[in-house]
């Protein structure tokens, strides 16, 4: 049987107020509190040295390095965007969010199972509560963290871009500084979850997140949510937390904003020169519109550089579109097959176990499989 050919087209998209029958809305629950920033990610690593080297080459500033703990910041005002503690395994431990002043952290103690954090555990101080999400991952909710002065950053190179419409750059050249892509901030984290509905609902309720773009399977059920922070009338990134329905509960990737496209491109050259493993890019995402470049850290965890992402205020309507592998990017190199679940005996055993434990239905598995298997581009 011949394989269906993909065509280049803009994907279908429906505003929340006019989604057609058969597409299920992702209901936004009443929130307990409101996250205002993705503060940092926490890691456990057996050997901290390769992580410190990768972080520096990736453009983070390592501000503290002991035998047992690494702390890194970006050039923005956050005192910390990543922590790695030395341990017995290489794993993602969890996320930390800054919460609005009007969030009552006491709400998360008790029924939500939260516990108060020790002040010493929190870079930048303040107070915080640790929750455990439905996948068993740690989520820290913080308030009162001290900010730091931003670091010097180079100015815009693209302010003088020549186009056919305008040539402001005369008798001047473009010479991008040869340096790591200076990371300004931690932008978003993408989490895969077997039980998409309950995990997406949990994050929206705990953090007051707003779904910006929701992707649905052929049966109309939501299976991926790009969620942004609720900052009211202040524009915020298209997504800060993404929940992806899948066959594992796992960290997918985290993304770090850099100054501009030249930083992404020159940063790629520096990472290549230092021998790090490139994954995918440079390209432009469709949902979120970021110019991206993906790298693997020493243990194979995905890290993304990005710039030029979309910004939205809280009142922008949620949009719905079909889930398609080819819809991850607008242009650029084809997404590598390694971004899909690895086929093989281990995967088969995992799927059988999920089915036996009724963690996933055969129907849902089939729909997920068809969304991933459809050719992404006419040349695939």
Q: How far apart are CA 107 and CA 101, in angstroms?
A: 13
State how far the Cα of 111 lies from the Cα of 119, in Å rounded to an integer. 23
What is the closest distance, in whole angstroms, from the C-beta atom of residue 125 to Fe ion in the complex?
29
List the interface residues with Fe ion, window 322-351 (CB under 5 A). Answer: none
Task: Quote the least distance from Cβ 304 to Fe ion, whole Å.
Answer: 5
Q: Which residues of 200-225 are buried (b: 16+ CB within 10 A; e: fewer)?
A: bbbbbbbbbbbbbbbbbbeeebbbbb
User: What's the sign of the alpha-carbon dihedral 12, 220, 245, 211?
Assistant: positive
**Which secondary-structure segment (H or E) carries 121?**
none
45 vs 305 by CB, closer to Fe ion: 305
Number of residues that bind Fe ion (CB under 5 A): 2
Q: Which two tokens stand for residue 47?
A: 């050997």
Q: What is the closest distance, in whole angstroms, from the C-beta atom of residue 188 to Fe ion in the complex?
A: 6
Tell me the closest approach of the beta carbon of residue 220 to Fe ion, in angstroms.
Answer: 25
Nearer to Fe ion, 177 or 336 (CB): 336
How far does CA 227 lie from the centroid of its chain?
Answer: 10
Site string (151-180) toward Fe ion, x via CB under 5 A: ------------------------------
Nearer residue to Fe ion within complex by CB, 260 or 304:
304
Secondary structure class of 83 (helix, strand, coil): strand
Shortest CB 255 distance to Fe ion, Å:
4
Binding flag, residue 310, Fe ion (CB under 5 A): no
Residue 302 touches Fe ion, criterion: CB under 5 A: no
Element (H, E) at 347: helix 345-356
Rounded Cα distance, 104 and 31, in Å: 11
Q: What track of x and - describes contact with Fe ion for positions 198 through 237 (by CB under 5 A)?
A: ----------------------------------------
Question: CB of residue 253 vs Fe ion: minimum separation in angstroms?
Answer: 6
Indicate the residue among 293 and 304 with the shorter CB distance to Fe ion.
304
Considering the complex, state which of residue 57 and residue 304 has its C-beta at the smaller distance from Fe ion: 304
Q: Among all residues, whose Cβ is closest to Fe ion?
A: 255
Instruction: Report phi then psi at 291, rounded to 5.
Output: -80, 125
CB of 151 to Fe ion, least distance (A): 23
> Segment near Fe ion (CB under 5 A), from 61-69, 83-91, 158-166, 304-312?
304-312
Only segment of 89-97, 207-215, 216-224, 299-307 that touches Fe ion (CB under 5 A): 299-307
Q: Which residues make Cβ contacts (< 8 Å) with residue 42, sequence separation at least 6?
A: 82, 83, 84, 85, 92, 93, 94, 95, 96, 138, 140
For Fe ion, the closer CB: 188 or 276: 188
Instruction: Enter the tokens of residue 35.
Output: 């996250």
Q: Does 133 bind Fe ion (CB under 5 A)?
A: no
Q: How far apart are CA 116 and CA 227, in angstroms?
A: 26
Map tokens 């773009």 to a residue.
213
Return the residue of 304, 318, 321, 326 that touches Fe ion, per CB under 5 A.
304
Helix (H, G, I), strand (E, B), or coil: what is residue 272?
A: helix
Residue partners of 363: CB distance under 8 A and separation at least 6? 219
**What is the rounded CA–CA span in Å between residue 187 and residue 266?**
20
Spell out, one character per residue from 243 to 262, where the chain touches Fe ion: x when CB under 5 A holds, - when not: ------------x-------
- For residues 42 and 303, which CB has a smaller minimum distance to Fe ion in the complex? 303
- Binding interface with Fe ion (CB under 5 A): 255, 304
């Amino acid at each position: 049987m011949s394989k269906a050919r993909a065509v280049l087209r803009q994907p279908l998209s429906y505003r929340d107020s006019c989604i057609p029958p058969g597409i299920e809305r992702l209901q936004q629950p009443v929130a307990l509190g409101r996250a205002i920033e993705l503060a940092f990610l926490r890691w456990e690593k057996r050997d901290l040295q390769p992580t410190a080297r990768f972080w520096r080459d990736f453009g983070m500033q390592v501000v503290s390095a002991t035998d047992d703990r690494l702390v890194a910041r970006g050039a923005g005002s956050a005192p910390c965007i990543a922590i790695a503690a030395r341990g017995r395994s290489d794993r993602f431990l969890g996320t930390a969010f800054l919460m609005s002043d009007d969030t009552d952290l006491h709400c998360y103690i008790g029924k939500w199972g939260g516990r108060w954090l020790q002040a010493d555990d929190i870079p930048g101080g303040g107070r915080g509560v640790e929750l455990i999400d439905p996948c068993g991952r740690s989520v820290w909710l913080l308030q009162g963290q001290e900010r730091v002065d931003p670091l010097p950053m180079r100015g815009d190179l693209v302010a003088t871009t020549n186009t056919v419409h305008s040539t402001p750059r005369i008798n001047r050249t473009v010479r991008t500084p040869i340096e790591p892509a200076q990371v300004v901030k931690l932008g978003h984290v993408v989490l895969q979850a077997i039980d998409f509905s309950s995990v997406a609902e949990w994050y929206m309720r705990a953090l007051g997140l707003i779904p910006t773009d929701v992707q649905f399977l052929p049966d109309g059920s939501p299976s991926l949510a790009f969620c942004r922070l609720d900052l009211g009338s202040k524009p915020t990134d298209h997504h800060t937390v993404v929940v992806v329905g899948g066959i594992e509960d796992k960290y997918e990737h985290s993304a770090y904003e850099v100054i501009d496209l030249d930083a992404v491109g020159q940063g790629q050259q520096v990472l290549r020169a230092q021998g790090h493993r490139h994954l995918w890019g440079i390209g432009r995402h469709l949902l979120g519109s970021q110019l991206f470049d993906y790298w693997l850290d020493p243990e194979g965890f995905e890290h993304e550089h990005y710039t030029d992402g979309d910004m939205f205020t809280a009142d922008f309507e949620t949009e719905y579109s079909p889930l398609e592998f080819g819809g991850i990017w607008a242009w650029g190199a084809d997404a590598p097959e390694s971004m899909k679940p690895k086929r093989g005996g281990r995967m088969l055993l995992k799927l059988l176990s999920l089915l036996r434990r009724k963690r996933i239905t055969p129907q849902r598995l089939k729909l997920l499989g068809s969304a991933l298997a459809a050719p992404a581009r006419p040349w695939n």
